[in-house]
A = this chain, B = another copy of it.
Amino acid sequence: MTPIIEHYIESHQKRFLEELLALLRIPSVGADPTCQAAMQKAATYIKDHLVEAGADEAQLIQTAGQPIIYAEKMIDPLLPTILVYGHYDVQPADPLDLWDTPPFDPNIRQGSIYARGAADDKGQLFAQIKAFEVMVRTEQLPCNVKFLIEGEEEIQSPNLAPFLEKKENQKMLQADVVLVSDTSMPSPDQPVILVGLRGAMMFEITIKGPNRDLHSGSYGGVVNNPIHALCTLLAHLRDDDQKITVPGFYHDVRTLSKEERKSLVNDAFTPNTYQKDIGLQANVGEKGYNTIERLTIRPTLEVNGIWGGTIGKKKTVLPATAHAILSMRLVPDQEWTTIQHQFEEHIHHLAKTLPALAGTQVTIAKTAGSNALLIPSQSRSVQAMKKAFKDTWKGKPPLCMRHGASIPVLTTLHEKLDAEIALLGIGLDDDNIHSPNEKFGIENYLKGIATIVDFYRNFVQS
């Protein structure tokens, strides 16, 4: 980091913080229909800040869902181009009663900003925008930059995917590397460069029983209760070895060699600490695999939500319907379209054969999915990130690791733009993303800005 850059960051850090806090105050929950105005506000806020930071061109592109922001600064067609990807939508904040301070009224405690979206992804995205500002204002921008920022990452990017299908958009976004700050490291002194993410796919299952809610006394015993039917269906999706029962589900899963499996283990991840942190009473998971393997190289199926009948109140109802939301995490070489088909077939087969489902109707709503992403550790961008973290972060040397989470659109960006993906994550594993009390360290924010600036230079020079 040059002294000029260091000085710029230091002398503007108060404003950098204020600007991020203002963004965090906008409740941009993409999945919540009441947040429509907030989504537009957040998108406009970011677009304006990209212009402010030095973009030559910045626009809001309207879609069938939330607007996409595109901005660029082209300084020389012969220089490399970095495409920064990020998202301004955040996860829903409920359950609200578990937050120590309100999710959209950011609070600073012990050096961290507590707010929904602080780490995922507003804080990390804003570090990218501020790094861009730093380079432009200090006249040290070494290459062309493009920004692609969406508002539907948390709902599997349903409108960005078709946007990326269009040839003219692929041309507009053409880049050498897609740079993303939306991941985390286990501790402040142990940077991690992710080289693998799982794919993802969601489903909503609805079971309909009687044509209306019934009294469980007057009708109990002669109606297949949709809640019981749903529970029986979901219970049948795993066997006692915690394997998913969908036929063919594991068929294409890439088998790793002993050496490859061994290489997943490192000092930065200790299963015991992990287990204690989340209050786990037992070591559970798919038989035949250890914790790190279950989290990275094995696919999963989780129920994310269930509801039906009375909620929280004692009421003797036998409900007409019951619902569940499920998600899968996929690994190399599972193909989401194949798995989606296998899953639907399996559900319909179970619905036809399980006695608890006789007379009920099962429907499945589905989103588009994504395949897993694997990044070669020897790629130009991984090397540039390693050097940047080493020089700027001043902690242990960065580790290359796989992660269990998904950023579905990255697989699409990788394929459609034929560009490397660089995951320059500056959050912490315990930032409580998707949970109450999400946070982001101010130190992570400022050091992150410096690391991003360093990455640009390393990448262009390599």
Mark A291-314 against chain B: 1 for CB-CB distance below 8 A, else 0: 100110010101111111111111
Closest chain B CB from A298 CB (angstroms): 6
Is A78 among interface residues, defined by CB-CB distance under 8 A? no
Interface centre among A91, A94, A219, A358 (most CB of B within 10 A): A219
Cβ-defined contact, B435 with A215, below 8 A: yes
Complex: A356 Cα to B311 Cα, angstroms: 23
Complex: A278 Cα to B212 Cα, angstroms: 7
Is A148 among interface residues, defined by CB-CB distance under 8 A? no
Closest chain B CB from A446 CB (angstroms): 25
Complex: A238 Cα to B285 Cα, angstroms: 26
Closest chain B CB from A204 CB (angstroms): 8
Closest chain B CB from A119 CB (angstroms): 11
Cβ-defined contact, B436 with A212, below 8 A: yes
Cβ-defined contact, A227 with B282, below 8 A: no
Query: Among residues 299 to 339 in chain A, which have CB atoms less than 8 Å away from a CB atom of chain B?
Result: 300, 302-319, 322-325, 327, 329
Interface centre among A204, A291, A325 (most CB of B within 10 A): A325
Is A404 among interface residues, defined by CB-CB distance under 8 A? yes
Interface of A, helix, strand, loop or mixed by DSSP: loop
Interface centre among A220, A221, A315 (most CB of B within 10 A): A221
Contacts of A6 in B (CB 8 A): none
Q: Taking the full assembly, how many copies of this chain does it contain?
A: 2
A222 touching B436 in the complex, CB below 8 Å, given contacts A31-B314, A303-B227: no
Cβ-defined contact, B212 with A432, below 8 A: yes
Cβ-defined contact, A308 with B306, below 8 A: yes
Contacts of A415 in B (CB 8 A): none
Contacts of A212 in B (CB 8 A): 98, 278-279, 432, 435-436
Cβ-defined contact, A315 with B307, below 8 A: no
Mark A364-376 against chain B: 1 for CB-CB distance below 8 A, else 0: 0001000000000
Is A228 among interface residues, defined by CB-CB distance under 8 A? yes
9 A-B pairs within 8 Å (CB atoms) are namely A202-B316, A210-B278, A222-B284, A223-B284, A224-B284, A235-B235, A305-B311, A307-B308, A310-B325
Taking A221-B329, A222-B294 as known contacts, 11 extra A-B pairs with beta carbons closer than 8 A to each other, sorted by chain A number, are: A91-B316, A216-B302, A228-B303, A231-B232, A235-B356, A238-B356, A241-B355, A304-B309, A309-B325, A312-B323, A317-B434
